[in-house]
Chain A
Amino acid sequence: MTYTNGLHYVTTFRTGDWATKLAYIVMGAGHLAHHQIVKGLLYLASEIGFFIFLFSDGLRLLQGMVTLGTRHQSWTYDKSLGIMVRTPGDNSMLMLIYGIMTLVLIVLFITVYCMNIKGAAKAEAIIADGRRPRGILAELATFLDGRFHVTLLTIPVIGVVIFTVMPLVYMISLAFTSYDHTHLPPRNLFGWVGLANFQNIISGDISGTFFPVLAWTLVWALLATVTCFFFGILLALLINDDSVKYKKFWRTLFVITMAVPPFVSLLVMQNLLHAAGPINTLLQNWGWISQPIPFLTDPWLAKVTVIVVNMWIGIPITMLISTAILINLPMDQVEAAQLDGANRYHIFRYITFPQILTVMMPSLIQQFIGNINNFNVIYLLTGGGPSNSHFYGAGDTDLLVTWLYKLTVDSADYNLAAVIGIITFVLSAVFSLLVYTRTTAYKEGSLR
């Protein structure tokens, strides 16, 4: 029997024997009555443990998540000490975290509860067949065979739930609260505000920062992806040209720049391009310019600079991938075109480039998404600067992600940061959907 919807649980209850029926209230009863003592006891223990937790702390923690705290931190006069003493109030942030942890536990318990009923029904069916259900040792052995996936997945899933899912649920909830720099626990409480933050960003005070930053993020992602892609292919073609010797040496030379840790190469770049850095000083010494070029401090020039520096990082990557593709391209079309008198440009424009584009389309959209979230280049090179006095907490080259980072780390506007995170997620999701509708795996009807 499959348990795809709740109806099956009703059917099981109606058709089951007394032990299976009892398992709906006393977990493990079905197993205990059907010779699966250890499993039954474990289910029973988990039920008892869960309800002890629920009534001692769980309900209070859940309620705390709803109110997010009611008692403000206050100062009262302590007569014995003769000074003002701080009485701790509620800490909204901790209440939210504990509430989410409780919710995760409840979901876990419901899963165990459903397993309990399924197990009870199964044991009953086996007994009715005149066989004996598996003992605990045989049951454990299935974790190395039939249920081997459970064994392997346990640790990864626990890790993901604690360090990815719970934090994300927490941050997503923050988008609906007033947790900003004026509502910082433990000094102040914050509360639920519904969609006010979204409204603030779309049409309120913050929209004056949000839309320019969003526009620049999209422009940046588009330009960064296209420039790296186009020039990367040109570089690959250049290295693959018949006249070039030592192809492997050239390839490795460009790959080296990919391998240097980004914080090293980008901090060095920042130094090179600084107003007092070597490039500006040299140009001044040679008398080519009289004033240092504001590579990183002029709003427009800084945008050009980050795109150019990103080419320095990104072109070798495309070069490496498209070389692999170029080598495997069928040559017959090119040869036929050469016989027809096509020149290099025509061959590239009408044969090689379309072929590369088809193969690289998925990875191109991936790079586009990667660039929307490209933290390193902007943060290390310009730090989002030059700062713009019309923007709230952002500079002229800030992307949504670097703005998000500044909002959390520098200005403690967690609610705004959470909304930005959700919007970034929606952007990535929309473009990812484009990838999946284009991959063959999707057309075959399954996620590979």
Chain B
Amino acid sequence: MKKKALWPRITLVILGIVWMFPIFWTVLTAFRGESGQFVSYIFPKHYSLNNFRNLFSNNPNFPFLLWLKNTLIVSIFSCLLSTFITVSMAYVLSRLRFKFRNTILKVALVLNMFPAFMAMIAVYYILKAFDLTQTLLALVLVYSSTAALTFYVAKGFFDTIPMSLDESAMIDGATKFQIFTKITLPMSQPIIVYTALMAFMQPWMDFIFAKIIMGDNVPKYTVSIGLYAMLNQTTANTLYTTFAAGCLVIALPITVLFIYLQKYYVAGITSGAVKG
């Protein structure tokens, strides 16, 4: 038997260190006892939990608990609404045949090609016309309405369910509503879970739309813009370790969710060849 080569393992270890270093460094920073944005060493002089204490101390400049609550509210409601919207769109465009189906698919394709920020300012003024700026409801509406154009992964899933299932139910006299609720939905649990979790994660990651809509109303911030705002010119140096602690607090659950979801993610990218 030929002796197995050593170099692939060594390369992998080196790459692994390169890839993990920034994350490792964030963790070290979160537990670093000495404050300051820049230090000249990797391992902290002493470790402490002070950054986390500071983070949850409800400081009016960075009310992290409040931000967590805001984000949780937004993500729960936008998750419910987005999941309904995405699954409806995907189901209709995949399983039902009607006159404007191809038109809707083409329009969705074209709309997806515009850069998302292009409409950002206009969205702000439309929300202002409804007197909704600086509210959590506005964020829920904006996140959920974007969900209508992200149906490709779910549609790919519905496409794989055989049509004969629907047809036999139809022969037995089931209405389309009954087919949807009693046959397709119960079979689609994985894709519903995937859609819901993706929608749930969005408010924790987005910092552009939220910033535009919330402006300077700090108590209404979500965690991502809150943390981002902590690094402004005046506070970056004093709050950097607290920022790292905050990052750790929100990145941990998202990372766990993502590792759990990775197989759907791959399926979504490889099957969603139509996504623009």
Binding site for B on A (CB under 8 A): 93, 97, 144-146, 148-149, 151-153, 155-157, 159-160, 162-168, 170-171, 235, 238-239, 241-244, 250, 252-265, 267-269, 271-272, 274, 276-278, 281-282, 285, 312, 316-317, 320-321, 324-325, 359, 362-363, 366, 369, 373, 375, 400-401, 404-405, 408-409, 414, 417-418, 421, 424-425, 428-429, 432, 435-436, 439, 441, 446-448
Contacts and interface: CB of A to CB of B under 8 A. Distances in A.
B126 A276 contact: no
B244 to A, nearest CB: 8
A260 B115 contact: no
A373 B208 CA distance: 14
B238 to A, nearest CB: 14
Interface string B35-46: 001111110000
Interface of B: 4-6, 8-9, 11-12, 15-16, 18-20, 22-23, 25-26, 37-42, 84-85, 88-89, 91-92, 96, 98, 101-102, 104-106, 109-111, 113-123, 125-126, 129, 141-142, 144-149, 159, 175-178, 180, 204-205, 207-208, 212, 224, 227-228, 231, 240, 243-244, 247, 250-251, 254-255, 257-259, 262, 265-266, 269-270, 273-276
Q: Is the interface of B mostly helix, strand, loop or mixed?
A: helix
27 contacts: A97-B122, A148-B92, A148-B96, A153-B92, A156-B147, A243-B5, A257-B19, A260-B23, A260-B254, A263-B228, A267-B247, A278-B41, A281-B40, A282-B41, A359-B270, A362-B273, A366-B276, A373-B116, A405-B208, A421-B117, A421-B118, A424-B115, A432-B109, A432-B276, A435-B273, A447-B109, A448-B274
A405 to B, nearest CB: 5
Given A97-B129, A144-B175, A432-B109, A164 B149 contact: yes
B111 A165 contact: yes
B106 A276 contact: no
B227 to A, nearest CB: 7
B9 A244 contact: yes
A155 B269 contact: no
A197 B173 CA distance: 60
A269 B19 CA distance: 11
Given A160-B111, A267-B231, A155 B259 contact: no
A262 B38 CA distance: 21
Q: In this complex, which of A159, A260, A264, A272 has the most chain B Cβ atoms within 10 angstroms of its Cβ?
A: A264
A274 to B, nearest CB: 7
Given A321-B269, A362-B273, 13 more contacts: A145-B176, A148-B180, A149-B101, A156-B88, A163-B145, A164-B119, A260-B23, A260-B254, A264-B26, A264-B227, A278-B25, A375-B117, A448-B274
Given A241-B8, A276-B38, A278-B42, A260 B113 contact: no
Given A148-B96, A257-B19, A324 B12 contact: no
A363 B269 contact: yes
A281 B259 contact: no
B159 to A, nearest CB: 7
Contacts of A278: 25, 38-42
Contacts of A168: 111, 114, 118-119, 122
A256 B259 contact: yes
Contacts of B175: 144-145, 148
B221 to A, nearest CB: 13
Given A164-B146, A435-B273, A238 B40 contact: no
B119 A408 contact: no
A408 B121 contact: yes
A128 B104 CA distance: 35
A238 to B, nearest CB: 5
Contact of A171 (B85, B102, B119, B148): B119
Q: In this complex, which of A93, A235, A260, A424 has the most chain B Cβ atoms within 10 angstroms of its Cβ?
A: A260
Nearest to B120: A408
Contacts of B123: 163, 167
Given A153-B92, A253-B19, A285-B40, A259 B258 contact: yes
B95 to A, nearest CB: 9
B45 to A, nearest CB: 14
Given A166-B126, A424-B115, A429-B110, A255 B145 contact: no
